[in-house]
């Protein structure tokens, strides 16, 4: 139950082409997270799957059944909205049982299903309250409970944690992960928060401008981004991108630094290096030298922004509370194995 | 801001309150006691200025100062009106005149002092100045609207209890004799119900109003929902044209409709009215409801669809329950329009057995029917709407959607 298959999906809003040909297969029981910047089409994609938005062309299959022409009510999916969307005139119990009531279930069956879901989410004491008498976290938990009660083929989450404060977000994230483990149901989750994406997903699908940029396991995306967009989108702080050109024995940076690189297939135009892969070393042993422009000390980590002549400032992440003062001269070094190379079109050049 | 402004405010309020209170009092005395009072507004304004000047300039404890200010008011008003405040000299009704004079002074000085309660006129900054001014304006607003609503209603109610002979003797005397017994007191009403068929008019009016409400809601709820939620070609043109219809005055339509309805045989019938009334109320109802529907979060309806409801199911189970306050307001509004409607009822209805109340009252308006009957008819028209409004007012609360979405 819950395998979703999308073929050549397109969506127009008037003349605006929002989804430009998406093919995607979501396996049964998989936790798939859609990420991407605002307006990339990830939420629209979810709404197309849910049936709340009509597909312009392409087909949607759920468990082998073509549901493209069916309305939201007939697809057997459940959705959790960013704004909770609880029915304000009903109690928690009525909210959670609403789907079953519409489906014409027996009252006792509904009651039991609601009780079971409430127990899972520790909503027992809240069952007789109205939505306005609850906090944001409780409301979102009820919204999730409402989705569970119906035992849908798949769950759709549309940025469910965005309205919660930071502490609650972490707690709810863990609860959702636990829920997925227990229910083993297909879940499709839209977020712009990479931490949520990295921690929850079996597979991340990165969207930009209405097409899939890359999909894969979270760490695959982190280790082998297939293009510049994914490289800079996944990982925080984002990857440093330095323009480069082929040079003697490897590549040459705009400031004249030559780096020894072997086994790159193609013509490298961009070098990418993650902030956490750069080390601060003594200037004489360094690949590059610069001055610290800004230093941000977060306690566990420090981010320093190093100005280098002829280059954009580089972000460096240093573990521990290393005391590096602003305006200090530093040398930077990194292992060439951690570097990523992209060609002029921004596509990854695989190391041979 | 300083003493000059404070002084100006005190004297200004004294003048305004002096004028307003004297005029309202004069009118009220005339209406309630049937004694013709002269409106001595400007004299009272001057007296108010003098009294408030005394109130602010004397250095004494609050109570004596207040009493002296009232005395100043009374003295100045007497001098300016040649010892005949409100038009009657002390000779004939001394005690009453003195009491009225003191009451006027008390209210005028009291109103000024109340506006300045807890604030010193010598020490006004911008905020306190606005606060004092705001209090005074609030009081003036209450007096103004209270007067223009209550006085005509009072006149109407009292006239309806009078006898023809009393009215001829002194048309301004609104006092009634309560010793005459109920049947005598309510004789005009009894007359209307027994001889003029007002019971039937009430039934007809109720039927027409309730049917208008039902027809209007039946048409405007789906219409407003379509305009506010569904995407279809011509939606904006459609929603704008609603307002255009609303802007066509009824008086323009009544003659052509008269001609057409006469030919179709709809003129002297309630069916004809039930075509015209919803036609005039539906645009307003559509306009009110679509604004409310637009304010409801679309996600609630989407959640309903995900839960398995059809579009109609969503409207029935989610949108309508949440829109009850708006629907109640619209129903009340439409009911009042239909109940009070006069123009079309007057033009279309000729047979007394299908007269609505407002049409029925007009049928009384001839030289043979005494005025107290007319007033009793007006009371009968007004009271049900008043009662319904006071009863349903509590349902006109908004904010039912609180807690549904983020907030």
Residue range B232-272, pLDDT digits in tens: 888 888 888 887 887 888 888 888 989 999 999 888 888 88
Instruction: Look at residue B402 in the predicted model and tell me its pLDDT.
Output: 44
Nearest to A78 among B306, B321, B400 (CB): B306
Three-class SS state of A206: strand
pLDDT tens digits, one per residue of A44-88: 999 999 999 999 999 999 998 999 989 888 898 999 998 889 999
Range scoring the smallest mean pLDDT among B131-135, B149-153, B351-355, B398-402: B398-402
Q: Residue B361's Cα: distance from chain center in Å?
A: 20
| Average pLDDT of the segment spanning B128-137 | 89
* Cβ atoms of B231 and B298 closer than 8 Å: no
Query: According to DSSP H, which parts of B316-370 are helical?
Result: 320-340, 343-348, 357-364
Instruction: Copy the structure tokens of residue B24.
Output: 């309202």
Q: Which residue of A has its CA nearest to B321?
A: A89
pLDDT at residue B405 tops 70: no
| Average pLDDT of the segment spanning B168-193 | 78
pLDDT at residue B176 tops 90: no
Instruction: Look at residue B243 in the predicted model and tell me its pLDDT.
Output: 79
B118: left (phi over 0), alpha (psi -120 to 50) or beta: left
Q: Which residues pair with A258 in a beta bridge?
A: A252
Nearest to B405 among A77, A85, A103 (CB): A85
Instruction: Look at residue B407 in the predicted model and tell me its pLDDT.
Output: 40
pLDDT at residue B401 tops 60: no
**Cβ-based contacts of B400 with chain A (< 8 Å):** 88-89
CB contact under 8 A, B307 and A77: no
Instruction: Look at residue B99 in the predicted model and tell me its pLDDT.
Output: 82
CA distance B138 to chain A (A): 35
Q: pLDDT tier at B403 (50, 70, 90 boundaries)?
A: very low
* Cβ atoms of A92 and A47 closer than 8 Å: no
Of the residues B229, B232, B297, B404, the best mutation for testing chain A's interface (the one with the most A CB atoms within 10 Å of its CB) is B404
Instruction: Look at residue A180 in the predicted model and tell me its pLDDT.
Output: 92
* Measured CA angle at B380 (ends B378, B383), to 5 deg: 105
pLDDT tens digits, one per residue of B92-132: 667 777 888 888 889 888 888 888 887 777 777 888 888 88
pLDDT at residue B406 tops 50: no
pLDDT means over runs of 10, chain A (352 residues):
90 91 93 92 92 92 90 90 90 92 90 90 88 88 91 92 88 91 92 90 93 94 93 91 85 83 81 92 84 88 89 88 80 89 88 58
**Cβ-based contacts of B295 with chain A (< 8 Å):** none
Phi and psi at A58, nearest 5°, equal 110, 170
CB contact under 8 A, B310 and A73: yes
Instruction: Look at residue B91 in the predicted model and tell me its pLDDT.
Output: 61
A299: left (phi over 0), alpha (psi -120 to 50) or beta: left
List A residues 92-151 in contact with B (Cβ-Cβ < 8 A).
98-99, 102-103, 130-134, 136, 139, 146, 150
pLDDT tens digits, one per residue of B282-330: 988 998 888 888 888 889 999 999 998 888 999 999 999 988 888 888 8
Nearest to A81 among B299, B310, B313 (CB): B299
CB contact under 8 A, B404 and A87: yes
Query: According to DSSP H, which parts of chain A are helical?
Result: 42-50, 92-102, 107-120, 136-149, 166-183, 194-200, 218-223, 228-233
CA distance B319 to chain A (A): 10
Instruction: Look at residue A207 in the predicted model and tell me its pLDDT.
Output: 93
pTM over 0.80: no
Instruction: Look at residue B90 in the predicted model and tell me its pLDDT.
Output: 60
List A residues 52-71 in contact with B (Cβ-Cβ < 8 A).
52, 71
A77 near B CB under 8 A = yes
pLDDT tens digits, one per residue of B12-42: 989 999 999 988 888 887 777 767 777 778 8
CA distance B242 to chain A (A): 25
If you average pLDDT over every residue of chain B, what do you get? 84
Q: Which residue of A has its CA nearest to B307?
A: A99
pLDDT tens digits, one per residue of A147-202: 999 889 999 999 999 888 888 889 889 989 999 998 899 999 999 888 899 999 99
Share of chain B above pLDDT 70, in %: 93
What ipTM did this prediction achieve? Answer: 0.84
Instruction: Look at residue B397 in the predicted model and tell me its pLDDT.
Output: 53
């Amino acid at each position: 139950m819950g395998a979703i298959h999308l073929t050549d999906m397109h969506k127009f809003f008037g003349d605006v082409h929002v989804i430009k040909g998406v093919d995607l297969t979501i396996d049964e029981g998989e936790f798939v997270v859609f990420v991407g910047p605002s307006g990339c089409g990830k939420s629209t994609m979810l709404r197309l799957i849910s049936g709340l938005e009509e597909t312009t062309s392409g087909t949607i299959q759920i468990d082998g059944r073509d549901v493209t022409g069916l309305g939201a009510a007939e697809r057997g999916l459940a959705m959790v909205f960013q704004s909770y969307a609880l029915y304000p005139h009903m109690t928690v119990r009525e909210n959670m049982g609403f789907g079953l009531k519409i489906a014409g279930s027996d009252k006792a069956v509904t009651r039991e299903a609601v009780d079971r879901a409430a127990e899972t989410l520790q909503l027992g004491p809240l069952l007789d309250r109205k939505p306005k008498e609850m906090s944001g976290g409780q409301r979102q938990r009820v919204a999730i409970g409402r989705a569970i009660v119906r035992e849908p083929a798949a769950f759709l989450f549309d940025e469910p944690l965005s309205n919660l404060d930071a502490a609650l977000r972490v707690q709810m994230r863990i609860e959702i992960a636990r829920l997925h483990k227990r229910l083993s149901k297909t879940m499709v989750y839209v977020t712009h928060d990479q931490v949520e994406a990295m921690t929850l997903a079996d597979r991340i699908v990165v969207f930009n401008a209405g097409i899939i940029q890359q999909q894969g396991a979270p760490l695959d995306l982190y280790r082998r981004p297939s293009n510049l967009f994914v490289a800079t989108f996944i990982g925080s702080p984002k990857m440093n991108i330095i323009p480069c050109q082929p040079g003697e024995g490897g590549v040459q940076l705009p400031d004249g630094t030559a780096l020894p690189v072997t086994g790159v297939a193609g013509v490298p135009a961009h070098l990418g290096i993650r902030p956490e892969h750069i080390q601060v070393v003594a200037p004489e042993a360094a690949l590059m030298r610069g001055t610290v422009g800004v230093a941000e000390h977060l306690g566990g980590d420090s981010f320093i922004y190093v100005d280098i002549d002829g280059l954009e400032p580089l972000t460096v992440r240093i573990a521990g509370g290393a005391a590096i003062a602003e305006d200090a001269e530093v040398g930077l070094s990194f292992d060439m194995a951690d570097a990523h190379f992209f060609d002029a079109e921004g596509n990854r050049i695989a190391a041979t | 801001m300083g003493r000059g402004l404070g002084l100006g405010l005190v004297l200004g309020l004294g003048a305004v309150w002096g004028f307003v209170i004297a005029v309202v009092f004069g009118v009220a005395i005339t209406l309630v006691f049937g004694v013709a009072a002269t409106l001595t507004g400007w004299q009272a304004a001057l007296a108010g200025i003098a009294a408030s000047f005394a109130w602010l300039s004397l250095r004494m404890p609050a109570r004596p100062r207040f009493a002296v200010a009232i005395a100043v008011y009374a003295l100045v008003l007497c001098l300016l009106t040649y010892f005949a405040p409100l038009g009657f000299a002390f000779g004939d009704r001394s005690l009453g005149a003195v009491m009225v004079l003191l009451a006027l002074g008390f209210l005028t000085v009291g109103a000024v002092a109340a506006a300045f309660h807890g604030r010193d006129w010598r020490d006004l900054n911008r905020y306190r100045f606005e606060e004092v001014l705001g209090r005074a304006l609030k009081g003036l607003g209450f007096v103004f609207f209270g007067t223009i609503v209550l006085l005509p209603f009072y006149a109407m109610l009292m006239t309806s209890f009078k006898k023809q002979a009393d009215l001829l003797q002194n048309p301004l005397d609104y006092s009634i004799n309560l010793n005459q017994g109920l049947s005598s007191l309510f004789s005009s009403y009894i007359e209307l119900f027994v001889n003029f068929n007002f019971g039937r008019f009430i039934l007809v009016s109720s039927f027409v109003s309730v049917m208008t409400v039902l027809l209007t809601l039946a048409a405007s709820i789906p219409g407003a929902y379509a305009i506010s939620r569904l995407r279809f070609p011509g939606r904006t043109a459609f929603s704008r044209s609603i307002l255009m219809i609303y802007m066509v005055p009824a008086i323009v339509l009544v003659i052509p409709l008269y001609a057409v309805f006469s030919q179709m045989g709809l003129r002297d019938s309630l069916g004809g009215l039930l075509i015209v009334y919803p036609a005039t109320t539906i645009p307003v109802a559509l306009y009110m409801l679509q604004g409310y529907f637009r304010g409801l979060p679309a996600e609630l309806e989407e959640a309903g669809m995900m839960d398995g409801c059809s579009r109609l199911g969503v409207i029935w189970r989610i949108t309508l329950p949440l829109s009850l306050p708006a629907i109640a307001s619209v129903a009340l509004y439409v009911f009042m329009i239909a109940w009070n409607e006069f123009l079309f009822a007057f033009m279309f209805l000729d047979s007394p057995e299908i007269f609505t109340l407002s049409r029925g009252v007009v049928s009384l308006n001839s030289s043979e029917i005494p005025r107290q009957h007319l007033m009793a008819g007006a009371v009968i028209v007004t009271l049900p709407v008043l009662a319904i409004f006071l009863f349903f007012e509590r349902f006109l609360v908004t904010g039912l959607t609180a807690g549904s979405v983020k907030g």
